Structure 1
Amino acid sequence: MSTLLNTSGIAIPHGADILINKARSARHERGRQLLIHTEVVDGPLVLRMRRLNAARDQTIGRQILTLPLLAARLAGGFIAPATQEILYPAIRQALEAGGYEDIDKVCQLPGMPGAVLSALRDWWDVEAPASLPDNARLRDFTLLERRVRGALPAGMLSPPDLVRAALERLHFAPKLVGAITIQGVPDVKPVWRPLLQALCEAVPVRWIGSQHSGRAWFAGEIETYPTGAALLLSADLCADPRSEVREALRWARALVTAGKASPNEIAISAASPTAWDDAFLVLSREAGLPVHFTHGIPALATREGQACAALADILLRGLSQERVRLLFARLPRNPARESLPGDWAKGLRRSATLASPELWRHALEQARGERADGDLAERALLPILDELACGIAAADAVGRRLLRGPAMALWRDALRMAPPHAIELSLQALRIADGREPGNSIAWGPAGHLAAAPRAHVRLIGLDANAWPRRSSESPLLPQHLLGHLRLPSAEAAQNDQAMHDIIIDQSQSYTLSRAYRSATGSLQAASTLWPKDKERVVGRSAIPAHAFSESDRLYARPADAGKDPQVRASRACWRAWWDSEQHTAHDGRVRPDHPLIVDVLAEVQSTTSLHRLLCDPLGFVWEYALHWREPNLDPQPLALDHRAFGELVHSLIGGVLRDGVPPNSEEIGIALDREAARLADTWPITRAVPPGLLWGHTIAMACERALRGLTEALGEQRGLTWTELSFGEPGETLHPWTTLAPVPIGQTGVSFRGRIDRLDEDSARGAAIITDYKVGAAPERKKPVVFDRGAELQRVFYALAVRSLLPELRSVSSQLTYLKHDPARTLSLTNEELERAIEQAVLFTDAGARLQRSGEIAPGPAPLFFDSLSIALPADLDSYRRVKRRSFAQANGALDKLWSSP
């Protein structure tokens, strides 16, 4: 037999090297098996924390898995648990198959996929007995469950199938998972218990957990955490949920700054944290504290989620200029967005709704000259708008065109969860990771996550009745009365919350509790059965904190420091000026005499609208014309035109027909009016907000009805030369009877104005003229002549002043109001001495208003009969404010008080 030499120089027989190699491989395999160790955890917080600890310890061979991942590891191959993204399409496919006895009528409801997923999770978590009650709902559900499992892709298994696949390969457990430690799991759902029981016979299995863990069924080794002497520091009774969050952040910052704990040792928890999420999002960012949302943050709180919401808004509610602008401001970088020039919206009137691609096309064509790249915006934008106009049916195609990256992932998830028409609900339900590491952050999440990952310092919030523990609930699809003796996990919420509370406290060093006296909606709330009434401490909303969580909270805690802040000083001074003093102050509108802004705006040419504001609301005149405050367009597509816009529509119809030179024939008037209405129906939506299509057609019809009365009255009685839509004081292309287009001065006040008269009839032979102002509303009921109507009808008096000034040869001028709502139209006239007296008074009022502005003694005018958009800048309790300032305001506005009480 030939021999070989080993590395020591010792001769060994030929072939023995094979045996040596086999022995070495066996020893290596046994060593590898001994090195493999699997930790089973429950929940995302503990999964990430245990993996972080393993990385810090530089351990080799340790696997940290959840129970579904453990079963998938044993099942082998490419087996994986069926996730929510996979289950939703399978559920929708199963529902669309139909053929159900009891649920067939509700299969297509938007919330059905979510309800089915919740019921399936409950169903799979329990061990369903072999015999179940025989009823239509259970037969439907078992059929639905079979269809869902059959529709899952290959390799994606439901929990029961995953357990069966793992049990078939249980003999590989020593090599695949090695010794198992169940680390801190509060309880194991019945579906996973057969797998763990079988693993106890194949490999060593040890369960380390709290004494409150549900382990009575477990046959392996049990180890219990030592019971800690947790110290209850406080039980705070707060005003509302937001106050609870504020107190929790104060508590957390106090621990960190005092050096008692690092952020990874602090946790805040609630049984169901949804009610506090928004407050934590806002206040934690204000505080600058690292707060990790273990259950994820709402997708709509991110930029990507807002992009999806803007797209869904257009697809569900239709095109509008505001929605399109918002969408392109939120979209992520993509070819569709980058192809748009930067000035694509230049020249578009912000007041226009633009509710259809055709309107967008016309508006973009009209504004083409104001853009640098000509029709580039049209070529890039119009194809996108055509797709958006298809509505929610095109959600998938539009999403692929406009969204990229995380935004596209959110859009696809939302479309999987429910039918496209319910995408708003889907987006509201989506949550995403917040991007923080739990290893260096304060944990905020549900109690189930914290119970599996204990921390030294915890704060439990929301200990109100029916909030902790929560009331047991039933599945909408599987109510308890149909299940017999079978109980689903959702029916045991109260017991689970009690157990989570005990486990969290048992594993902590110190803890605090809090509850809200009132809910977010203001209703009173009773205390939980877990609330220690004897340790309760009332924390008022205005209480000064011992430790502030942010800069604003610090200023609130230190009034002396806050009082040095310029904004705080200004606001306190304003408050005192409004309520503690009857004097007329700068906070009421008073400014220094001859303020440059006011002098400049009075030097400008006024319109009849600005004159009305000058004389009827002196403070509003400063806000609107000196400071240029404007009411935002909060309703991009109103259901009806406001009174002023409707009047402009009627005037435009009358003026358009009369400009065409229509003869006084009723048939010709009707044809011309229809032609002008069709033109305005197309052009108005390009420049201003109009109602939706059907209502817009009805509005046009109503305007035509009023305009026809005005036209019949205008063309039926010729009184010399008739002028319509006659402008003065401004350049115009239409013919006019005066020799100058200069603004008309108002006496010796230094104020000049311009305007447009609805109709002027000039009879040069008689030296007379009649001014007609069309009103779309109803005539007043009172019998006294209407002169100023408390300032509402100043316009027609100023028109008479303009005609007197521009046509001095006239011997007689009359001004009339024609109310078109009545059939026939009703007219109220102001003639001769009454009109002359009104003109003189209007000049005096204008002089008084201008002197008041120049003097700086500016105060709010009388309370408006209807809503005034500028009143938002005044105190909310406006009646009380006016009572406090009544004398000083009356003294400041004394010169105009006669106008405000005039008939």
Structure 2
Amino acid sequence: MSIHSVVVDGPLALRMQRLDAAREGATGRQILTLPLLAARLAGGFIAPASQEILYPAIRLALDAGGYEDIGEVSGLPGMPSAVLAALRSWWDAGTPIGIPDNARLRDFTLLERRVRETLPRGALAPPDLVESALKRLHLAPRLVGPVTIHEVPDISPVWRQLVVQLCDVVPVRWVASSCSRRSWFPGRTETAPAGSSLLVAADVCADPRSEVREALRWARARIAEDGIALEEIAITAASPTTWDDAFLVLAREAGLPLHFSHGIPALATREGQTCAALADILLRGLSQERVRLLLARVPPARANIPLDWAKGLRRSAALTTPRLWQHALESARAERADGDVAEGALLPVLELLAGGISEADRAGRRLLRGPALTLWQDAMRMAPPQAIELSLQALRVDDGREPGNTIVWGPAHHLAGAPRKYVRLLGLEANAWPRRASEDPLLPEHLLKDIRLPSADIADHDRLMHDIIVSQSADYTLSRGHRSASGSLQAASTLWRRDHERVVGRSAIPRHAFSQSDRLYARPADAGKQPQVRSSRACWRAWQDSDRHTAHDGLVRANHPLIVDALAQVQSTTSLYRLLCDPLGFVWEYALHWREPNLDPQPLALDHRSFGELVHALIAGVLRNGAPRNIDNIEIALADEARRLDDDWPIARAVPPGLLWRHTMALARERASRGLRDALGEPRGTSWTELAFGEPIAGPHPWTTLSPVPIGTTGIEFRGRIDRLDEDGARGSAIVTDYKAGAAPERKKTVIFDRGTELQRIFYALAARSLLPDVRNVESRLTYLRHEPARTLSLVHDELVTAIEQAISFTAAGVELQRRGHIAPGPQPEFFDSNSVALPSDLEAYRRIKQRPFAQVNSPLSKLWSSP
């Protein structure tokens, strides 16, 4: 069997040539790259030093220290990647003659020598690989046989000596495009047959995503209309990363087999997302959401952990420390089938994760398996653990497709080594193709003097790749973006052909659609028949109709079952507020059961409502054991209650980080102290705090019944929880206090409804009057705790009776609007309302357009919304 070696350049050419050899049934044909050819000649188990081997060697060399100039930056996270890029450029440039004497180059040559000495036996850097191959060059006839260099555009100086001397031992021929650089080559050269190189069009697209969309339309048209085989089509760019994400999404939607010759981003794979979940928790700390995500994505982490491990845990709790996790799991132990088994299996994992990024290596080996562990270890080699996010973003993996039966998408230098007949070139913008020459950050040109690195000739290299791809094609199409992905205007490349330029707008109808959604986009008549499109168009027209209240504004049929069911439920003061101040929001939240997701597992500050609940909890905890008699007793009781809440709150809801939480607790104690001091010395009878009504209560209570409280004859019943109720049976009076953590309104008028925001106090007074029949006088108080001393606004006697009657009347009006289906958005809320996301984005314009029909619909409630 005769041996023949074919030398190619790049992974695409390597796979295509191996496929061709398999199809031809060729025996004895070796498909090699120049590093593999040198390793074959060097013999034994010698192989080129791969990236996985070089990174640890570089990090060891940097850790050795003793550098004059780069010592201060040698520990930075990006240093290993920068050193690897510089070493590759340095090695590709060949053995430099006359290295200038300066501190940077002395450091770099020391670093390079240390890296080469640190490499394991059998893994050689390019200069050492060439040296070893030259020593065994006399064995080339038996090891490699005749050599054909196939479609290699150019050979780096480091390999040229090997190729030149190889020509003296075995026949070497170089088959390549006429554009290839072969003037130094002493062997036989052959010119590959050129294609017709017909330029079809030069498309100016809106942006990179539009370029991808047009490229897929072009590919689909070549396949469907021209009958071109997949393996003859390629899409390329000088540097393809700008378009990768769009190709990943749109090619999957199109159903076109697209091979990424340079690999897909590791984070686009399930294994990559598994690594990302682990990195997220190590870098940013424990939280309940991160732990749930990790256990869902990492099966080994679930070993021996019961399936119901999270039962009883409040989703709103952040749980940012192992101590909080232990407390939360112990509190919920009774709700799990296996008792403390979950704690024993989960807590050691949480302790490991709480160690942070310093435990990255141990956490990866314990929790990851298979490809996910390989990715994690690759990322750990590239940079220190603190830069694991950047390392994971830089990793790429094979997409699992074969280039022999797919369309190829990849960098231009891959395609130049394996040209195809029908090509589309993307990114023909200035500084993108050809790219601007850039200095190596470690080896700037002013320090190198006469030494020239390949990175300095990147523009010439890109022009060469363009010329080879074009010359070998039957026809080709150019493409560039009018704007970048960030929206900036872009100029055309020097390679751009203005004589064939055509502008392809976003709304242009394609000659051939690439997917079902694209087909509907190209055929408005068909798209208009789709229920979603018809609904969206009807919605848009309805929003612009200033004369009518439509179904897209909230109008529904009378006595809609969902609304009737929602009204039949026992209401809370919160749902009553929605019913009367935001009728459409009541439907969304209580009829459709929409809820805002918790997107902030650990806020920097509690929102107004949560902070108020914390203040109420402190006051309730103090009064649970009776009202304090003096200020000292208040402060002692507050300190005890704050310590208890400091343990209980973080396992039930999200709280700020440690320092901010302590500040929040101190502020809440201050407000609670004002509220408690406000009642000192005032005879109020029996005090009840956080007193529930309208629902079962286990402990003592003053109510005559625990049934929900009816609101007049409206058919609505409600329940709730009063901040503080002081009942004096001897005097026949009761004081209902609603604590407010904020400041009192600056106005002279009595606060009654305050445009609906204080409805709660009126309904609490209604409940007290209904459930305490022996009480003749009820006083409703708003106590604002932001002031020193606390400021109290009271509502008593006829004013309160009138307010209760008005509240019943407003409730009847709100119920009637809901039953009739005349539902519209309420007034603009003072603070952000989560339900606003379901309204048009230009909310002010929408409310302005719909002002008249909304005012007509909401007229029965307008008096409430303007009340003092």
TM-score bracket, normalised by the shorter chain, equals over 0.9
Distance 1:715 1:434 in 2: 73
How big is the shift at 1:127? Answer: 2.3
Which residue is equivalent to 1:698?
663
Residue 173 of structure 2 is aligned to residue 206 of structure 1: yes
Which residue is equivalent to 1:793?
758
Which residues of 2 match residues 310-709 of structure 1 at below 5 A? 310-331=277-298, 333-334=299-300, 336-580=301-545, 582-661=547-626, 663-709=628-674
Distance 1:128 1:583 in 2: 81
How big is the shift at 1:564? Answer: 1.9
Check whether the contact 2:616–2:723 (CA below 8 A) recurs between aligned residues: yes
Distance 2:131 2:765 in 1: 95
Which residue is equivalent to 2:26?
59
Distance 2:811 2:582 in 1: 12
Which segment drifts farther, 692-701 or 177-186? 692-701
How big is the shift at 1:103? Answer: 0.7
Which segment drifts farther, 748-757 or 273-282? 748-757
One-letter identity of the residue aligned with 1:286: E
Could you tell me which runs of 5 or more consecutive residues in structure 2 were left unpaired when the two chains were aligned.
none
One-letter identity of the residue aligned with 2:163: L
Distance 1:263 1:355 in 2: 52
Check whether the contact 2:48–2:125 (CA below 8 A) recurs between aligned residues: yes
Check whether the contact 2:556–2:821 (CA below 8 A) recurs between aligned residues: yes
CA RMSD of superposed structures (Å): 1.2
One-letter identity of the residue aligned with 1:605: V
Check whether the contact 1:41–1:452 (CA below 8 A) recurs between aligned residues: yes
Which segment drifts farther, 99-108 or 736-745? 736-745
One-letter identity of the residue aligned with 1:415: M
Residue 51 of structure 2 is aligned to residue 104 of structure 1: no
Residue 731 of structure 2 is aligned to residue 731 of structure 1: no
Distance 1:527 1:214 in 2: 27
How big is the shift at 1:468? Answer: 0.6
Check whether the contact 1:321–1:350 (CA below 8 A) recurs between aligned residues: yes
Which residue is equivalent to 1:123?
90
Which segment drifts farther, 537-546 or 264-273? 537-546
Which residue is equivalent to 1:817?
782
One-letter identity of the residue aligned with 1:43: G
Check whether the contact 1:314–1:388 (CA below 8 A) recurs between aligned residues: yes
Find runs of 4+ consecutive structure 1 residues off by over 3 angstroms.
none
Which residue is equivalent to 2:116?
149
Distance 2:790 2:507 in 1: 62
Distance 1:483 1:353 in 2: 54
One-letter identity of the residue aligned with 1:277: D
One-letter identity of the residue aligned with 1:703: A
Distance 1:346 1:566 in 2: 40
Distance 2:303 2:478 in 1: 52
Deviation readout 1:2-26 (Å, 9 max, x if unpaired)? xxxxxxxxxxxxxxxxxxxxxxxxx
Which residues of 2 match residues 66-81 of structure 1 at below 5 A? 66-81=33-48
How big is the shift at 1:662? Answer: 5.2
Distance 2:832 2:76 in 1: 41
How big is the shift at 1:764? Answer: 2.8
Secondary structure of 1:724's aligned partner: strand
Residue 17 of structure 2 is aligned to residue 40 of structure 1: no
Distance 1:714 1:344 in 2: 46
Give the length in aligned residue pairs: 868
Secondary structure of 2:621's aligned partner: helix
One-letter identity of the residue aligned with 1:328: L
How big is the shift at 1:582? Answer: 3.2
Which residues of 2 match residues 24-39 of structure 1 at below 5 A? 32=1, 35-39=2-6
One-letter identity of the residue aligned with 2:797: N
One-letter identity of the residue aligned with 1:320: S
Give the direction of change, closer, same or farther, for the CA distance of 1:377–1:524 in structure 2 (3 Å limit): same
Which residues of 2 match residues 190-269 of structure 1 at below 5 A? 190-269=157-236
Which segment drifts farther, 217-226 or 708-717? 708-717
One-letter identity of the residue aligned with 2:7: V
Check whether the contact 1:662–1:672 (CA below 8 A) recurs between aligned residues: no
Q: Percent identity?
A: 73
Distance 2:626 2:58 in 1: 68
How big is the shift at 1:679? Answer: 0.9
Which segment drifts farther, 569-578 or 471-480? 569-578
Which residue is equivalent to 1:770?
735
Which residue is equivalent to 2:265?
298
Residue 150 of structure 2 is aligned to residue 183 of structure 1: yes
One-letter identity of the residue aligned with 2:592: L
Distance 1:59 1:249 in 2: 35
Which segment drifts farther, 731-740 or 486-495? 731-740
Distance 2:278 2:26 in 1: 48
How big is the shift at 1:208? Answer: 0.6
Distance 1:663 1:867 in 2: 38
How big is the shift at 1:827? Answer: 1.0
Which segment drifts farther, 352-361 or 315-324? 352-361
Which residue is equivalent to 2:859?
894
Deviation readout 1:499-546 (Å, 9 max, x if unpaired)? 100100000001001111111111111111111112111111111111
Residue 719 of structure 2 is aligned to residue 754 of structure 1: yes
Distance 2:705 2:277 in 1: 52
One-letter identity of the residue aligned with 2:856: Q
Residue 746 of structure 2 is aligned to residue 781 of structure 1: yes
How big is the shift at 1:672? Answer: 1.6
Which residue is equivalent to 1:284?
251
Deviation readout 1:757-816 (Å, 9 max, x if unpaired)? 112222333322222111101111122221111111111111111112122333322211
How big is the shift at 1:581? Answer: 5.5
Distance 1:344 1:127 in 2: 60
Deviation readout 1:32-82 (Å, 9 max, x if unpaired)? 4xx111110000000000000001100011101000000000000111000
One-letter identity of the residue aligned with 1:900: W
Secondary structure of 2:792's aligned partner: strand
One-letter identity of the residue aligned with 2:787: H
Residue 786 of structure 2 is aligned to residue 849 of structure 1: no
Check whether the contact 1:469–1:497 (CA below 8 A) recurs between aligned residues: yes
Check whether the contact 2:623–2:687 (CA below 8 A) recurs between aligned residues: no
Secondary structure of 1:201's aligned partner: coil
Which segment drifts farther, 683-692 or 301-310? 683-692
Check whether the contact 2:146–2:171 (CA below 8 A) recurs between aligned residues: yes
Check whether the contact 1:128–1:486 (CA below 8 A) recurs between aligned residues: no
Secondary structure of 2:753's aligned partner: coil
Distance 2:332 2:679 in 1: 36
Distance 1:762 1:164 in 2: 98
Secondary structure of 2:679's aligned partner: helix
Larger Rg: 1
Could you tell me which runs of 5 or more consecutive residues in structure 1 were left unpaired when the two chains were aligned.
1-31
One-letter identity of the residue aligned with 1:460: L
Distance 2:67 2:416 in 1: 41
One-letter identity of the residue aligned with 2:666: A
How big is the shift at 1:548? Answer: 0.5
Secondary structure of 2:168's aligned partner: helix
One-letter identity of the residue aligned with 1:783: K
Check whether the contact 2:195–2:421 (CA below 8 A) recurs between aligned residues: no
Deviation readout 1:434-460 (Å, 9 max, x if unpaired)? 000000010000000001101010000
